[in-house]
Structure 1
Amino acid sequence: MTTLAISSTGGNGMRSAKLFAYAAVILFIAELIGSFTFKIGPGKVVLLPMIWALLLGAAAGVISDRLRGNFRLDVHTQFYAAAILQPALLLFIAKLGLMIGSALPKLVSAGWALLFQEFGHFVGTILLGLPLALILGIKREAIGATFSVGREPSLAIIGEKYGMDSAEGRGVLAEYLTGTIFGAVFIAIFAGFIASLHIFDPLALAMGSGVGSGSMMAAASGAIAAQQTPEMAKSVLTFAAASNLITTTIGTYFTLFISLPMAVWGYRLLEPLIGRTTTASGATDAANAARPKLGEVETEAPELGYPGKLLAWGVTAVFALICDWMAHGTTPLEGLPGMVIMIVAVIAGDALATVTKRRIPAVCWVSLVAMFLTSPWCPWGAHFAELSGRNDFLGVTTPMLTFAGLSIAKDLPAFRRLGWRIVLVSFVANAGTFLGATIVAQIFHI
């Protein structure tokens, strides 16, 4: 598919202004709504501002189709949102690295069982999820939906390698939506059921709970701990937290260098053998057919260039500071030093990726630079950790998902084609990551 150049500087500036205005309004509304929690059976669903931002962004794209003039969030602007999303994801990766740098000594001493269960986490999603996706007729979206449980680092990895405006990007975004809204409830029920069978050691089950999502880890470990003695319950929660920390840190590299290549290889091997043709198979064709034809508008996300990346990082940083201010009362002046550290890590990591000709992706470099800055091996690590600790993790996530939401409307025909099939695949992938890690942890723990 061909990408047309942006017609003029003025047109690009108008598109930027419109997109950022939409994003600012959506962020303000999402933060005003705040968190909303409700129970479903043994689990609960927590809808945070970042989810409201994602849903409001998607709704804005759908509703604006009926508008005319400058208020319309046209496909052109939606593609621009997808382009802005990719560098914005690097800012999230930097925040993640800054959070875990000071915890690296704990990870080193965590033990072999905690380390090797990571193979189970990321291989389990593929072994169960990928064959099911192919049998249901899902095509390359299956790669994005099954190479991991689709948390924020996975969005960043797929965004950089394939672009969020791709079949793989739609797959990981569908996995993210399903896991965020229903994942905690599903994993609580599933983990509680597996624990009730008394097949696995409780600590192995605890390690399997650390899937890389705080809410899903809490739901799974809580369901397991509820069936244990008070003393064992404490150990379950401790091991689950340690496992989740390792999944969040080392897991980024597992997904990048092991599970994603494995999912691509598995797709190439299995699709000719068990792949079927269903309504879901036409997801990409449906997305392309709904877009304006070549010559009317860009048919892919535009290349931003380095000035565009700086703009994306700067705007995302400003939005994150505003989110912190509204949610926690942290003034932009208080949060600015930590945000500067974040941006420095992003710029340094992106530069290293450029120097190495992207052989090692920017996601990896940004993560390594950020972790070093707050690690015990950095002379100013403790000070950097204190400054960056003023910036809330969700404050960075919410702007990122706002841009994701604003880019969704152009792909709604594809999501309709995927339908219930992608939700089922997501549940099976979540079950696979829990079971896979539990089995590996059981082997190394006993």
Structure 2
Amino acid sequence: MSANPTLAVGQDRAVSNTVRLYIWAALVLLIAELIGSLTIPLGPGKVVLLPMIWALLLGAAVGQVGKRMPLGLGIDRGTQVRSAAILQYALLVFIAKLGLVVGGSLPTVIAAGWALAFQELGHFVGTILLGLPVALLLGIKREAIGATFSVGREPSLAIISERYGMDSPEGRGVLAEYLTGTLFGAVFMAIVAGFIASLNIFHPYSLAMGAGLGSGSIMAAAAGAIAAQQTAEVAKEVMALAAAANLITLTLGTYFTLFISLPLAVWGYRVMEPRIGRTTKASFQQSSVDAAVVDEPVELGWSARFSAWLASGALALLATLVMSKTLPPAAFLGVVVMILAAFVGELLCQLFRRKVPAVCWVSLVAMFLTSPWCPLAPQITAAHNAVGIMALITPMLAFAGLSIAKDIPAFRRLGWRIVVVSLVASFGTFIGAAFIAEVFH
């Protein structure tokens, strides 16, 4: 029996789109690394624009002009959707790197004690304390609940969808928060976290815990900006604490948002809206966004997942070469270990029917590899140390940039006011968690 020609053509097209996507990601990464870091003085502090930010912005620009490029060189909408799917698995390689860092820094994580435990409260209460009043003052109504009860990542979308439906005001609010985080979250939090770190108001470890927002890319951007201003040893502990805080947010955050922060946001809206709520043009704008385009998610098979992991590792090696002007042999082994941890973690996730997220399994596998209980921990530690954190962050944000152009039309329909609210809520969760961590540090 002959193979289905239509299926074969579809697979060939997917492979072609994926190869083109990887080429663009490599070009974006190369240009971003060549641009390097840019420091902008700002009052008593400074803003540090790192290569990862250039990668995100350049990727978004490529997606925007994709239709105007000749001979199918551009990134069309379907390829952008595929980039988002690849990003999901590229993140696992980055999570593996963080797990390797955490495993070797378990004494520091344990020593953080109550600071690391209580910072989770700040992550979610901070969004409501700052974001909700701003939303009401700008004339946003029930959309404010969805936009400010959390940082609006995938678990938050699921909670609001089940409780209210995505066509509700609350659904539009959480979608705005999600799109804002996707489009601007990494850039915004990198600038904010870097600036606050430069003021020396908070201990770097407190800021690191605040950076664990539950989003791999946003956490990476914020923690990377903080770590870039520290010594090599402190930078390592910053990434370890940020990874641990992010893991706690990913594992416990869904229950926290469902049972604590969402009811708190609903109560806060009921109490504050009659007192400070305003009626403006924004109060009526949001009813016009129901027609936003929703793309069918792309489900990657195992071969596509392996290609995503291999591409992430290859791009990390390229970034290491450009940054360090050298590529130590140990870096190759380090990348292999990260890919192996990502594979084992994803396999365990499948075996347990996704009852525990893949990021948790990958983190646990990687943490064991550099923990005192693993006999090969010293060798694995030496290998993964040859590949810096920033070498993994920049490729990840390149994929994020190449994927977000498709969301811009829907994002525009949501209006600038709710963008402000989303950014304030993101700032609130960061500064709230950092403050609580500082108190208990």
Q: What is the TM-score when the length of structure 2 is the normalising length?
A: 0.76
Letter in 2 for 1:369: V
Corresponding residue SS for 1:8: helix
| Contact 2:52–2:393 (CA under 8 A) maintained in structure 1 | yes
Corresponding residue SS for 1:46: strand
* Displacement of 1:398: 1.0
Q: Deviations over 1:172-228 (max 9, x none)?
A: 323323212344336767x85xxxxxxxxx88x974674234466579x99xxxxxx
In structure 1, the partner of 2:388 is 392
| Contact 2:98–2:240 (CA under 8 A) maintained in structure 1 | no
In structure 2, the partner of 1:172 is 181
Q: Distance in 1 between matches of 2:125 and 2:240?
A: 17
Q: Aligned pair in 2 of structure 1 residues 287, 60: CA closer, same or farther (>3 Å)? A: farther
Corresponding residue SS for 2:72: helix
| Contact 1:353–1:362 (CA under 8 A) maintained in structure 2 | yes
Q: Distance in 2 between matches of 1:334 and 1:283?
A: 55
| Contact 1:38–1:45 (CA under 8 A) maintained in structure 2 | yes
In structure 2, the partner of 1:89 is 91
In structure 2, the partner of 1:254 is 248
Residues 25-424 of structure 1 correspond to what in structure 2 (within 5 A)? Answer: 25-112=27-114, 114-129=115-130, 131-132=132-133, 135=136, 137=140, 147=150, 167=175, 169-173=178-182, 174-185=184-195, 207=206, 210-212=209-211, 213-214=222-223, 217=226, 244=238, 247-264=241-258, 266-267=261-262, 270=265, 273=270, 278=283, 281=286, 285=290, 287-288=292-293, 299-331=295-327, 333-416=329-412, 417-419=414-416, 421-424=418-421
Letter in 2 for 1:422: V
Q: Deviations over 1:332-353 (max 9, x none)?
A: 7441100000011001111111
Letter in 1 for 2:181: V
In structure 2, the partner of 1:231 is none
Tell me which moved more, 120-129 or 76-85.
Answer: 120-129
* Displacement of 1:302: 1.4
* Displacement of 1:300: 2.2
Tell me which moved more, 60-69 or 96-105.
Answer: 60-69
Q: Aligned pair in 2 of structure 1 residues 127, 85: CA closer, same or farther (>3 Å)? A: same
Mind listing any 5+ residue stretches in structure 2 that lack a counterpart?
A: 1-6, 162-173, 212-221
* Displacement of 1:433: 3.8
| Contact 1:65–1:74 (CA under 8 A) maintained in structure 2 | yes
Q: Distance in 2 between matches of 1:123 and 1:353?
A: 27
Q: Give the CA RMSD over aligned residues.
A: 3.9
| Contact 1:95–1:370 (CA under 8 A) maintained in structure 2 | yes
| Contact 2:208–2:223 (CA under 8 A) maintained in structure 1 | no
Q: Deviations over 1:258-316 (max 9, x none)?
A: 3344335544774685699647736964641xx8xxxxxxx323111111111111111
Tell me which moved more, 133-142 or 311-320.
Answer: 133-142
Q: Distance in 1 between matches of 2:206 and 2:27?
A: 41
* Displacement of 1:255: 1.1
Q: Distance in 2 between matches of 1:302 and 1:147?
A: 26
Q: Aligned pair in 2 of structure 1 residues 260, 243: CA closer, same or farther (>3 Å)? A: farther
Q: Distance in 1 between matches of 2:376 and 2:397?
A: 31
Q: Distance in 2 between matches of 1:93 and 1:259?
A: 17
Q: Deviations over 1:373-422 (max 9, x none)?
A: 01111111111111110011111111111111011111112333353543
Q: Distance in 2 between matches of 1:216 and 1:383?
A: 28
Q: Aligned pair in 2 of structure 1 residues 92, 331: CA closer, same or farther (>3 Å)? A: same
Q: Distance in 2 between matches of 1:159 and 1:314?
A: 30
Corresponding residue SS for 1:44: strand
Q: How many residue pairs get matched? A: 395
* Displacement of 1:110: 3.7
Letter in 2 for 1:119: E
| Contact 1:82–1:403 (CA under 8 A) maintained in structure 2 | yes
| Contact 1:86–1:160 (CA under 8 A) maintained in structure 2 | no
Q: Distance in 2 between matches of 1:363 and 1:280?
A: 37
Q: Distance in 2 between matches of 1:45 and 1:39?
A: 6
Q: Distance in 2 between matches of 1:38 and 1:263?
A: 36
In structure 2, the partner of 1:195 is none
| Contact 1:210–1:241 (CA under 8 A) maintained in structure 2 | no
* Displacement of 1:88: 0.5
Letter in 2 for 1:301: P
Q: Deviations over 1:303-330 (max 9, x none)?
A: 1111111111111111111111111134
Q: Distance in 2 between matches of 1:338 and 1:27?
A: 20
Letter in 1 for 2:210: V
Letter in 1 for 2:52: M
Letter in 2 for 1:281: Q
| Contact 2:193–2:223 (CA under 8 A) maintained in structure 1 | no
Q: Distance in 1 between matches of 2:265 and 2:80?
A: 34
Letter in 2 for 1:412: I
Letter in 2 for 1:211: G
Q: Deviations over 1:99-149 (max 9, x none)?
A: 12111023223443x33442343233333255347645498897687635x
